[in-house]
Chain A
């Protein structure tokens, strides 16, 4: 439903919105206060801890609102969607695994999946417990989230994005903040598909390297 609002409607406004996004990332706003959201999520899962959940709500609800607003969520449904995502956080906290993702990464995936549900689309997912799923023989390198524990990732990403050339950071922002596929980005920016793909590849390699370079 949110996708049906159309890309064309963005017109020239997206430049302003993206500048706002980049400004907020680059200014370092939102550097995580260091109460552990991961510990709070585990307390919600284990004890249905309302105080911990209140802390998560106070931290993530405004961020979700801001994040989802950029994703072309109609203003009238924004608060409902934030409530909906936070309700999923409460209900599904027992499936959160701190070894796999930070709290903000996990909540990002919850919000993404709720948006797909509400658009009446389905999301095929890997089932790690399925016997047909192939696992690494030895433990692989740790995920970026494990290395950049407790939300340091936002800081690392801020620095890494600051170093991306503008043509790459623009495409990364459209992918994450506008929910555009690479082919939609190509037509939005009037660029050949191959150009979009190669800029994305360059940007992702740099961001990935930055995340993994953290000790």
Chain B
């Protein structure tokens, strides 16, 4: 399996510096679990950060004299950390979802409370960052999503199956970035359900009667 659609470097850099919003970081980290090349890229960006830290010596103010002694008194009161080992997962559909996302799913994809919205089914995942929507999408084999645009930026990551739109073919691990200028109509490949993680930043909702009407049509 080769991933052919990656997040752009600006997104990877935001992830590496820690500036990326948590919902978008969820998509990027889940993509990275499926894409050794992007992990490699982020490691290189972290190495730049390490070199920046190494070069940060313009601070003339010394550490307080007792800083080390205070630190040792603090750390010796607390035991070292060991990473907890993860329990094995028996459900193959759940086991195929990389961990940063799996930890946030309410159940195995087969057992999630999918809600039908036209030709697609969705499950909203909890998201406490204002302005973002985090959803799992399921498209039946060979079915299309109606033509739509986006209000904000949308990142879509394919986890199972594949879809195509005017910009290309997207399989497991591929990430598509859509901004409000993209007008697309994704169609799932025949033969297998297509399951995706989609995160949208929707900074502004339209208001007013006309706005709500427009909103309704935009709201895919």
Q: Tell me whether B17 and A175 are in contact (CB under 8 A).
A: yes
Give A197's nearest chain B residue, CB to CB: B10
A163 — which chain B residues lie within 8 A by C-beta?
none
Q: Tell me whether A121 and B97 are in contact (CB under 8 A).
A: no
Q: Tell me whether B53 and A63 are in contact (CB under 8 A).
A: yes
A to B contact number (C-beta, < 8 Å): 240
Contact with A along B70-109 (1 / 0, CB 8 A): 1110110011111100100100000111111110000000
B67 in contact (CB, < 8 A): yes
B40 in contact (CB, < 8 A): yes
Rounded to whole angstroms, the CA-CA distance of A132 and B99 in the bound complex is 7
Q: Tell me whether B1 and A134 are in contact (CB under 8 A).
A: yes
Number of interface residues of B (CB under 8 A): 70
Q: Tell me whether B39 and A129 are in contact (CB under 8 A).
A: no
Rounded to whole angstroms, the CA-CA distance of A27 and B61 in the bound complex is 19
Query: Which residues of chain B (29-67) have a CB below 8 Å from chain A?
Result: 29-30, 32-36, 39-40, 43-59, 61-64, 67
B21 — which chain A residues lie within 8 A by C-beta?
181
Q: Tell me whether B49 and A109 are in contact (CB under 8 A).
A: yes
Q: Tell me whether A104 and B26 are in contact (CB under 8 A).
A: no
A106 with B50, Cβ < 8 A, contacts A30-B57, A182-B13 known: yes
Give B58's nearest chain A residue, CB to CB: A24
**Closest Cβ–Cβ distance, residue A183 to chain B (whole Å):** 9
Can you list 19 residue pairs at the A/B interface with Cβ under 8 Å? Answer: A24-B55, A48-B80, A54-B68, A63-B57, A83-B74, A87-B71, A90-B75, A92-B81, A94-B81, A95-B83, A104-B54, A105-B46, A105-B49, A124-B30, A124-B100, A132-B95, A176-B17, A181-B14, A201-B10
**Which residues of B does A touch, CB under 8 Å?**
1, 8-11, 13-14, 17-22, 25-26, 28-30, 32-36, 39-40, 43-59, 61-64, 67-68, 70-72, 74-75, 78-83, 86, 89, 95-102, 173
